[in-house]
Amino acid sequence: MRIISSFAAVCLLFGSTAMAAPVHYVLPEETAALASGPNSDIAQATCGACHSVDYITTQPTPQKDAKGFWTAEVTKMQKVFGAQVEPDNVPKIVDYLAATYTAK
């Protein structure tokens, strides 16, 4: 009986802390943007949904085969992280990224 009542006391204790007031966060405005160009709007809308586009603009892209690199990135986003990308938009996004974010 004692075990049960001390268990109840612990539940009460933790239960009450779980009911503490919710914490509200005000996130800062997203400031990163993709360079404008053909289909940059599609890329911004599709690729900015989960994370900052800083992830894209700061990638060390290879000098050779930028298209292959970006194709692999977009495929990874879809297959590994579940990004929803319209099939028609995949080549548009890849072409835009390869043209814009390629090591010079």
- The one segment of 9-17, 28-36, 48-56, 61-69 that binds ligand HEC by CB under 6 A: 48-56
**Under 8 Å CB-to-CB from 98, ≥6 apart: which residues?**
66, 67, 69, 70
Instruction: Using the minimum distance from each CB to ligand HEC, give the nearer residue, 22 or 92.
Output: 92
34 touches ligand HEC (CB under 6 A): no
Rounded-to-integer distance, Cα 95 and Cα 68, Å: 10
- Least Å from the CB of residue 83 to ligand HEC: 3
Rounded-to-integer distance, Cα 67 and Cα 61, Å: 10
Among 76, 86, 91, 103, binds ligand HEC (CB under 6 A): 76
Confirm if 44 and 100 have CB atoms less than 8 A apart.
no
Q: Which two tokens stand for residue 48?
A: 């900015």
- Least Å from the CB of residue 26 to ligand HEC: 22
Q: Which residues bind ligand HEC (CB under 6 A)?
A: 46-47, 49-51, 55-56, 59, 73-74, 76-77, 81-83, 85, 93
